Structure 1
Amino acid sequence: MNVIKTTIDDLVIVEPTLFNDSRGYFFESYNEKKLYALGIQTKFVQDNQSKSCYGVIRGLHYQIYPHAQSKLVRVLSGKILDVCVDLRENSPSYGQHEAIILSSENQRQLFIPKGFAHGFSVLSDEAVVLYKADEWYHPESERGIAFDDPSLKIAWQVDPDKRLVSDKDKILPTLEEAELNFQNH
């Protein structure tokens, strides 16, 4: 297992060690001890899984404190563009985003600490996404930011005419209007 830093502090790509042979492959998708040694010292309590077709954009979602969530995201099948926006108000990268391709081919995972909005677009015919969370889902703490907020300038890599966005996500506020309570810890 290897950790690759992104341009935003604390947001990291986790790359597994793959063992390939004529039968296929094997890898550890999660090993708490190894992740702890790599600096990801998070105790996960819930797994969530979604299946989406091409063009779906989910997000940008987060939960505010005290129910903020760290996540470890991976793709079981297909390919997504995973997007994270730094919402930590005193962070040097506040308001900036990182976009990472996650796929069943590259087997990469993305560790997203508390204080980030998260979303993804589906770039393959369909994608199955699994993520671990370190806090329980808490509907009263759920918040979001508009996926198409012009201040974020996110290139979702999906033709605007083929985007599929939930009604709930279509009415999310801009970053400037969003309710935040994160600091750079």
Structure 2
Amino acid sequence: MEIEQTGLKDCVIIKPKVFEDPRGYFFESFNRNTFEEKTGLSGAFVQDNQSFSSYGVIRGLHKQAGEFAQAKLVRVLKGEVLDVAVDARIGSPTYGKHIAVKLSAENKLQLYVPRGFLHGFSVLSETAEFFYKCDNFYNKESEQGIMFNDADLNIDWLIPAGKESVSEKDLLLNSFSSLS
């Protein structure tokens, strides 16, 4: 496993060591001991989630607040997405900054999104299966989010205007400046 720094404090890209031969491939997608040793971050995950989406879907930007904040380890099982993490930790040296990383079944990259970050992704392939581990349980009352097209963040989701597919719920989210 290789760890690549992203420029956002505690947010890292994980590149697994993949063993390929004529039959296919094998890789260890997560090892808590190795993860904690190489990153210095906690790998105590308690919940796994998976979604399926089609081209142009944008999910996010979301986070859990307070005692239900979640760190996530995300990856793509099929297809390709543009994964986005925004540092929303007040007082962080990278507060308000974001990164965007292409994750795919082909490149097998994973992104560790720390607690306090907003997270979302756009689907760049015809379809995508997205998988992530969380270090805390979901709590509906702790949900927070901001608009995917927030003017202050100016995220390029790599989806042409008019081709986005965003949930009604996500279209009602506030701006980044309104987060508390």
Q: TM-score band (shorter)? A: over 0.9
Q: Does 1:107 align with 2:75?
A: no
Provide the residue aligned with 1:50 in structure 2.
Answer: 51
Distance (whole Å) between structure 2 residues aligned to residue 117 and residue 136 of structure 1 = 16
Structure 1, residues 31-72: CA drift from partner, whole Å, max 9, x if none? Answer: 111111112322000000000000000000001011000000
Q: 1:59 corresponds to which letter in structure 2?
A: G
Paired residues for 1:21-40 under 5 Å: 21-38=21-38, 39-40=40-41
User: How far apart, in 2, do the equivalents of 1:48 and 1:138 lie?
Assistant: 14
Q: Which residue of 2 aligns with 1:5?
A: 5
Report the alpha carbon displacement of residue 30 of structure 1 after superposing the two structures with TM. 1.1
Specify the SS of the correspondent of 1:176: helix
In the alignment, the residues of structure 2 paired with residue 115 and residue 130 of structure 1 have an alpha-carbon distance, to the nearest angstrom, of: 19
| Offset at residue 91 of structure 1 (A) | 1.2
Q: Which amino acid aligns with 1:105?
A: E
Percent identity for Structure 1 against Structure 2 = 51
> Aligned equivalents of 1:177 and 1:4: distance in 2?
31
Residue 139 of structure 2 corresponds to which residue in structure 1?
138
Structure 1 unaligned residues grouped into runs of 5+: 181-185
Aligned length: 179
1:124-155 deviations in Å (ceiling 9; x for gaps): 00000000000000000011011010010100
Structure-2 separation of matches of 1:41 and 1:57:
28
Give the aligned residue type for 2:8: I
RMSD, aligned α-carbons: 0.7
- Consecutive unaligned residues of structure 2, counting only runs of 5 or more, are none
Equivalent position SS for 1:136: coil
Residue by residue, what CA displacement relative to the aligned partner does 1:81-123 show, whole Å, maximum 9, x if unpaired?
0001100111121111100010001000000110100000000
CA offset digits 1:10-46 (Å, max 9, x no partner): 1000110000111111000111111111123220000
Matches within 5 A, 1:100-179: 100-178=101-179
CA deviations on 1:133-181 (whole Å, 9 max, x unpaired) are 0000000001101101001010000011110000000010001112x3x
Matched residue type, 1:9: K
State how far apart, in whole Å, the 2-side matches of 1:20 and 1:97 are. 33
3-state secondary structure, aligned to 2:141 = helix
